[in-house]
Structure 1
Amino acid sequence: MASSKSVVIAALFANAAITVLKFAGFLLTGSPAMLSETYHSVSDTGNQVFLLIGIRYSGREADDKHPFGYGKAQFFYSFLVAVLLFGIAGWESVTHGYHSIMHPHPVTTSTETLFGYQFPSHWVNYTVLIGAIAFETYALWKAYLGISRQMKEHNWESLSEAFRKTSDVTTLTALTEDFVAVAGAGIALFGIYLSRITGNPFYDAAASVFIGLLLMGFALALAWENKRLLLGESLPSGDERQLRAIVTQWDTVRHIDDFRTVFFGPEQLLVTADISFEDTMDTESIDEQITVIENALIEHNPQIEKVYIEPEM
């Protein structure tokens, strides 16, 4: 939880600073790609606030209405972030870029004055976007460190595997946002540069459309990943088989009648099992064996917070 929070806070400060710079760049130059990047950063800044709310809310203690706690709040707020990323940043970028393609404005060669110095206006965009890439790269690195710790802990071999399997959607969302932010700033920079050297405003506007499509694509992927957890996804089949093997290794266990796992929060796993024990065992022996099995399961997978085993007769 602390790791996720530090990742989000780093992204929040980076995006807030970048939003101001990008909007100033747009006001000075009128670049469609720069406006798209402003939408993007405004959305990202708001999204970090939602993620922090999710982290805070999920830390509430369990109560009568929520006996397993509020861990799924992070899933909900991360899903909300995906929707906003799609609806605000992505859609606005595409529509603004499309409008600029249909109604192009000529590339200007105006100059701006700052602190008594005059310089070409396009250098405002270059400076802002290069600064944005630097800020976002820092935030991306923080998010990558967070997901790398999970990959090492769970022996995941690639980022794509971590994307499919992680239950820490807050870090996953921050990582995705930061990656798209770096890519988007790079695309905007390239589009503005092409428009500048060719005198054709199409490249700037096309960069805006491409940034919007990129945002919408990643937003859909994030929404899908959060959907699986909101609906109560179990552990991957391979990991669940390992837990079943732990249960059946005891001579006192005849067979497993039912075995289920479900995430009820980030890195919070619930395991339930109906187990048939040997007929010769008395109640006290069964209780002792259940305790041993529960401890073995938790030791094998630290994500397991609750285990419920029901002996079958």
Structure 2
Amino acid sequence: MAGSKSVVLAALVANGAIAVLKFLAFLLTGSPSMLSETYHSISDTGNQVFLLIGIRYSGKAPSRAHPFGYGKAQFFYSFLVSVLLFGIAGWESLKHGVEAIRSGHAASPGTVTLAGVTFDTVYVSVAVLLGAIAFETYAFVKANAELRRQMEAYGWANLVEAFRSTSDVTTLTAFTEDAIALGGAALALVGIVLTRVTGNHIYDAVAAALIGLLLMGFALALAWENKRLLLGESAPKELEADFQSIMRDHPGVTHVDRFRTMFVGPKGILVAADVSFDPELVTDDIDADISRIEEKLRARDDRVRFVYVEPEL
């Protein structure tokens, strides 16, 4: 949880600073792609706030109304982030880019004087975007380090497997946002420079539209990943197989009957099973065996929080 929070805080600081700089650059240049990037960074900043709310809310202790805790709050707020990323930043960026393509609007050439030195406004945009890339790289490195740590801890072979298997949607969302932000800043930089060099508005306008499509595509992917967890996804097959093997191999267990798992939070797995025990075991022995099985399951994966074993004789 601490790793996820530090990732989100890093992204919040970076996106907040970048949003201000991009908006100032848009006011000076009128660049369509710079406006798209402003929408992007404002949306990202708001998204980090939602993720922090999710982290805080999910830390509440279990209650009568929520006996398995509030861990799924992170799934909900991450889903909300993906919807906002699609609805606000993605759609507005795409719409503005298409309008710029149709109208022929592009960044207005001009100059700006700072500290007695006069600059071409295109250099202002370039400087802001290079600064944005630096900020986003810092946030991305933080998110990537946390995701890599999880990959090593849980044995995921690559980013694709991590994307499909992780229950830490907060880190996943921050990682994805930072990656999109880097891609969007690079697109805007290329579009603005090409328009300035060639005098053709189309590059700046198309860059704005592409940024919108990029945001919308990744937002849909994030929404899909959050949906699986909101609906109560089970643990990965390989992990379930390990859990069942631990139960079957425990002395006194003759068979594992019905077996179920479900994520109840980023760091919470529910395990429930009907287990057949040796009929010669007495009640006290069965209770001790169930306790030892719980310990073994938690030793296998530290996300195991709730274990319910129904003994069958």
- What's the TM-score, normalizing by structure 1? 0.98
Residue-pair matches, total: 313
For the pair 1:216 / 2:212, whether they are aligned, the reply is no
Of all paired residues, the percent bearing the same amino acid is 61
Closer, same or farther in 2 for the Cα pair 1:153/1:106, shift >3 Å? closer
Task: Give the SS at the match of 2:176.
Answer: helix
Q: 2:79 aligns to what?
A: 79
Kindly state the Cα deviation for residue 250 of structure 1 after the two structures are TM-superposed.
Answer: 2.4
For the pair 1:117 / 2:123, whether they are aligned, the reply is no
- Whole-angstrom distance in 2 between the partners of 1:51 and 1:107: 34
User: What's the CA shift string for 1:39-72, capped at 9, x where partnerless?
Assistant: 0000000000000000010111111111111110
Task: Give the SS at the match of 2:232.
Answer: coil
Moved more, 23-32 or 290-299: 290-299
The one-letter amino acid paired with 1:248 is R
Task: Give the SS at the match of 2:99.
Answer: helix
Unaligned runs of 5+ in 2: none
Moved more, 254-263 or 82-91: 254-263
Moved more, 263-272 or 107-116: 107-116
For residues 28-107 of structure 1, the aligned pairs below 5 Å read 28-105=28-105
For residues 105-184 of structure 1, the aligned pairs below 5 Å read 105=105, 108-184=108-184
Stretches (4+) displaced over 6 A: none
**C-alpha contact (below 8 Å) 1:22/1:128 kept by paired residues:** yes
- Whole-angstrom distance in 1 between the partners of 2:105 and 2:62: 57
The one-letter amino acid paired with 1:258 is R
For the pair 1:304 / 2:304, whether they are aligned, the reply is yes
**C-alpha contact (below 8 Å) 1:107/1:199 kept by paired residues:** no
The one-letter amino acid paired with 1:181 is A
- Whole-angstrom distance in 2 between the partners of 1:105 and 1:271: 58
The one-letter amino acid paired with 1:230 is L
- Whole-angstrom distance in 1 between the partners of 2:300 and 2:107: 62
- Whole-angstrom distance in 1 between the partners of 2:121 and 2:211: 22
Q: 2:278 aligns to what?
A: 278
- Whole-angstrom distance in 2 between the partners of 1:106 and 1:23: 16
Q: 1:253 aligns to what?
A: 253
User: What's the CA shift string for 1:284-303, capped at 9, x where partnerless?
Assistant: 11111111111111111111
Q: 2:238 aligns to what?
A: 238
Task: Give the SS at the match of 1:109.
Answer: coil
User: What's the CA shift string for 1:191-221, capped at 9, x where partnerless?
Assistant: 1111111100000000001000000010011
Closer, same or farther in 2 for the Cα pair 1:29/1:273, shift >3 Å? same
Closer, same or farther in 2 for the Cα pair 1:168/1:107, shift >3 Å? closer
Closer, same or farther in 2 for the Cα pair 1:291/1:107, shift >3 Å? closer
**C-alpha contact (below 8 Å) 2:32/2:105 kept by paired residues:** no
- Whole-angstrom distance in 1 between the partners of 2:107 and 2:53: 43
For the pair 1:195 / 2:199, whether they are aligned, the reply is no
Closer, same or farther in 2 for the Cα pair 1:126/1:254, shift >3 Å? same
Kindly state the Cα deviation for residue 312 of structure 1 after the two structures are TM-superposed.
Answer: 1.6
Unaligned runs of 5+ in 1: none
Task: Give the SS at the match of 1:234.
Answer: coil
**C-alpha contact (below 8 Å) 2:132/2:185 kept by paired residues:** yes
